[in-house]
Amino acid sequence: MSSKDGGQPFEGNTTEGSQREKIPVLIFDQPGQLSIQVAKRIASLITERRATGKKVVLGLPTGSTPIGVYQHLIDLHNEEGLDFSNVVTFNLDEYFPMKPDSLQSYHRFMHENFFDHVNIPKENIHIPNGDIPRENIEEYCLSYEHKIRKAGGLDLLVLGIGRSGHIGFNEPGSGIKTRTRLIILDEITKKDAASDFFGDENVPKEAITIGVGTILDAHEIILMATGEHKAPIVMKAVEEEPTDEITASFLQKHRDVTIYCDEAASGEFTRIKTPWVVKQVEWTEDLSVRAVIWLAEKVSKAILRLEEGDFQRHHLHSLTYTHENTDHLCKHVFESLRRRIRYAEDLPTKQEVIVFSPHPDDDVISMGGMLDSLVENKNDVTIAYMTNGSVAVFDSDVRRYIRFMEMAGGLFIDNDSVGSLHTKLTKLSKAMSTKPLGNVDALEVQQIKAFIRYSEAVAGIEVMRLGQEHARFLDMPFYKTGKVRKMPINDVDVQIVLSMLEEKMPEHIFVAGDLSDPHGTHRMCYFAIKRALIEFKKKYPDESKHPMVWLYRGAWQEWEIDRADVFLPMSKADLDRKIEAIFKHESQKDRAMYPGAYDIREFWERARDRNQGTASRLNGLGLPEFHAAEAYVCVKEL
């Protein structure tokens, strides 16, 4: 029952420490577990209604988050006979203008990912129409609302959440009583969508969306959130007061709504980030270190200058009881952090190392300092570029190289071949100029873009005194869609990584451990490596053959001080050399195609600021002062 129908909004969680959460929250270890549970809830409701001869009306979202739910529902249909013939669906939104068969159309998305694989009657499927005449929009939106009411309202509505806090396309400023309408898209939303449209200049400025009032009329609501990049906005929607600046916060006024988060998206909740603020905690070593760092930064003191009163005033007196006295506690934490500082001479020497780089620039952006030190220590380093990064290259870069090939061709091939080359390049240029905006590149163009990224990758590692022989381009199949949205990781992807591990038998591997990459490639590469390592350890049970795994983070954020196992200090010269290597990625310089919604800095600026920021934080805690520092987490298992 919705609050409109007389229900009461949620009044408090019962999970210990969750008193600041104004909406019930379920946290899952992995996104896959979350998807399974949402799919089971939908299947259960369908089955319950079928048993009583009733239809079930579902509100459905698009985007990467619900794809796993749709896949599990398809599996239930194919393998367990789940019958969808009693299901009526209403999608939340659609871009405007947008033809139903366009590559980015939500009509196409829903049919490809769900509707074409289950037996929902066609007449029961409703998706906002993005290609109606503008003068008919108001009448159309009223009609869409009428169809929802005529169907009996939404029994279960599944939502995602945008990084602006929107639900549906209800952007900041949308009121609680809004209904289906045409809306202008927020700049953050457009930048997040840029990857699907091959540049934010191609993203439609408007969309049709059901309103906040329509959402709150649903009888039951599930909001799904996955990934670290969603954590800050989910916390605000759940813990802070409702506001039209974060439309998801209006869900606090609904009596039957649940937030489903994976572990990464839950990281900013008070009970997760600073649990001692809201409950009694068992002081583990990791939690003690985190709390002391938090306190030191909160009161702007070095760790060894903290006093007993600082702990008392911030409700950390129970922590002081775990040690002989406050000074002993602070010294213990300080020494724990100090031992994590590793200079080049403390790093692996003359060993086999594989650096797995999801994109062709993640190696130098994320761990240029480490790469430099590994080479200095005479390790046998192989950089395994997992994807070709072609979708992030502008067409203008391809045209520049086409012109170069036209000009330089005569220097390397005979006159007869020059004419043939010119014909091919002219044909290629024409195909590019006639390609509709937002469409997938021709295969030849995709290949040229891949070669651009490959050549830049080699130029980058040459700054680190490595050569082309140290680069391995895995070109994993999951990435090769020509679009930013990728295929699921499959056995072929895993086998490529496994073969690399078996060929090199590395003692150390470096893996992108960040789950906040907004385009998902880092996450997918991470899970491909994880699966490959499982197979590797089955084939080689001798633990001495199992590599140490070093997790680095990419352009989006750095490891928290308390979570990092290793800090690598960098001098100004070290950082300058890292930046020089990043500069070699010219297609990503000045203006990257997909820089992310919130951050206008170039990747080299993010790397510089992140590394200097880590060093500054360490210095603020009373540790040695460095110009910059990289951070790593070391594990035996992913």
**Known catalytic residues?**
171
- Dihedral of alpha carbons 175, 179, 185, 189, sign: positive
How are the residues of the chain apportioned to helix, strand and coil, as percentages rounded to the nearest 5?
50, 15, 40
- Using CA atoms, how far apart are residues 37 and 172, in angstroms rounded to an integer? 30
Give the residues across from 208 on adjacent strands: 94, 182
Secondary structure (3-state) at 552: strand
In eight-state DSSP terms, residue 166 is -
Which residues fall within 8 angstroms of residue 25, CB to CB, at 6 or more apart?
A: 13, 15, 18, 238, 258, 259, 261, 266, 269
- Using CA atoms, how far apart are residues 569 and 611, in angstroms rounded to an integer? 9
- Using CA atoms, how far apart are residues 163 and 184, in angstroms rounded to an integer? 16
- Decide if 318 contacts 283 (C-beta within 8 A): yes
- Using CA atoms, how far apart are residues 524 and 585, in angstroms rounded to an integer? 23
Secondary structure (3-state) at 428: helix
- Using CA atoms, how far apart are residues 281 and 130, in angstroms rounded to an integer? 52
Secondary structure (3-state) at 513: coil
- Decide if 272 contacts 278 (C-beta within 8 A): no
Burial of 600 (0-12, 13-18, 19+ CB in 10 A): exposed
Q: Give the other-Cβ count within 10 Å of 539's Cβ.
A: 10
- Using CA atoms, how far apart are residues 294 and 561, in angstroms rounded to an integer? 10
In angstroms, what CA-CA distances link 292 with 268, 319, 528? 18, 9, 36
Which residues fall within 8 angstroms of residue 282, CB to CB, at 6 or more apart?
A: none
Of all helices (H) and strands (E), which one includes residue 400?
helix 395-408
- Using CA atoms, how far apart are residues 504 and 545, in angstroms rounded to an integer? 11
